[in-house]
Amino acid sequence: MLKIDNLHAKLEDEDKQILKGVNLEVPAGQVHAIMGPNGSGKSTLSYVLSGRDGYEVTEGSASLNGDDLLALEPEERAAAGLFLAFQYPVEIPGVGNLTFLRTAVNAQRKARGEEELSAAEFLKVVREKAKSLDIDAEMLKRPVNVGFSGGEKKRNEILQMAMLEPKMCIMDETDSGLDVDAMRLVAKGVNALRAPDRSFLVITHYQRLLDHIQPDVVHIMADGRIIRTGGPELALEVEKNGYADILAAEVG
């Protein structure tokens, strides 16, 4: 599914290297978590993979099912099946949530040479999926994320994910700013989307999200590289002892 090989990246207008050789492979159907201290490059990795401006890849490669991600525009990466759930979902006043969703779904279908969904078909699907995420009709009508609570914004991200049916979902600190109930709801939405042909890369600071979205593999990232990889128990170790021991072991 996702294959990252020796990925190096820096900020375009600064000479500071942020990713210093990331190697990572997420097979189809698996959930991988990336944990790591602040400034380790987790969010940068998600931005570089999804094609945000301002970063320059200096070395290495990243591919999704064989497609060279780094050669594609952000919208092409999306059409190829990549989805990034934002840590801070963006507010778009004046653009209705439904309009936005339908534009996105149909743009991707068009890019893949599929037929666009009619308004009626789209509404039927979106209502169904919104319901399971506890998103009411009112929220669907409102402008994208405007006036949404933190929890509503994150649920809206998951709704987009559910509608767009990506193959590879990257979740950038989706748990930040969520209370326990909101986190459960988000996790439920994500778990409902787990499928043999869909993979997840869950970026988080804390183990608690991983109680609800259980990972197959946990990676620890520090200073722009993956320094350790293990099973779910690695997340528990971090929760108990912090990153200090792992970092020390790596340096040692």
Query: How many CB atoms lie under 10 A from the CB of residue 102?
Result: 19
Contact by Cβ (8 Å): 146, 93: yes
| Cβ closest to another protein, residue 35 vs residue 163 | 163
| Cβ closest to another protein, residue 160 vs residue 204 | 160
Q: By C-alpha distance, which of 178, 235, 225 is closest to 42?
A: 225
Contact by Cβ (8 Å): 208, 39: no
Closest separation in Å from C-beta 95 to another protein: 5
Tokens 């609800």 -> residue: 212
CA-atom Rg of the chain in angstroms: 18
Closest separation in Å from C-beta 168 to another protein: 13
| Cβ closest to another protein, residue 54 vs residue 242 | 54
| Cβ closest to another protein, residue 27 vs residue 93 | 93
Closest separation in Å from C-beta 207 to another protein: 27
Closest separation in Å from C-beta 73 to another protein: 7
| Cβ closest to another protein, residue 52 vs residue 131 | 52
Sequence-separated (6 or more) residues with CB below 8 Å from residue 14: none
Residues that bind another protein (CB under 8 A): 50-54, 73-75, 77-79, 83-84, 86, 89-90, 92-95, 100, 103-105, 107-108, 111, 143, 160, 164
Closest separation in Å from C-beta 85 to another protein: 10
Q: By C-alpha distance, which of 217, 164, 157 is closest to 187?
A: 157
